[in-house]
Amino acid sequence: MLVNGSANFATEPDGQFYRWETMRNGRLSLVPNEEATDYTQLEGTPDAVLEIVSDGSVAKDLIHLRDLYWKSQIPEYWLVDTRKAAIRFDILRYAADGYHETPSDDGWVRSEVLGHSFRVERSIDPLGLPQFVVQLRL
Number of domains in the chain: 1
Find the domain containing 51 and state its range: 2-109
> In terms of Cα–Cα distance, which of 114, 113, 116 is closest to 138?
116
Tell me what percent of the residues of the chain surpass a pLDDT of 70. Answer: 100
**Residue 134 domain-assigned (yes or no):** no
Enumerate residues 6+ apart whose C-beta is below 8 A from 114: 17, 48
Please state, in angstroms and rounded to a whole number, the distance separating the CA atoms of residues 29 and 116: 25
Across the chain, how many H-helices and E-strands are there?
3, 13
**Residue 125 domain-assigned (yes or no):** no
For the stretch 72-121, pLDDT in tens is 999 999 999 999 999 999 999 999 999 999 999 999 999 999 999 999 99
Please state, in angstroms and rounded to a whole number, the distance separating the CA atoms of residues 88 and 131: 15
Give the per-residue pLDDT at 116: 97
**Residue 137 domain-assigned (yes or no):** no
Give the per-residue pLDDT at 37: 83
**Residue 124 domain-assigned (yes or no):** no
**Residue 90 domain-assigned (yes or no):** yes
Judge contact between 38 and 74, C-beta under 8 A.
no
**Residue 120 domain-assigned (yes or no):** no
Q: How far is CA 136 from CA 53, 55, 73, 110, in A?
A: 21, 27, 25, 10
> In terms of Cα–Cα distance, which of 4, 9, 66 is closest to 31?
4
Give the per-residue pLDDT at 16: 97
How far is Cα of residue 134 from the mean position of the Cα atoms in its chain? Answer: 13
The pTM (predicted TM-score) of the whole model is 0.93
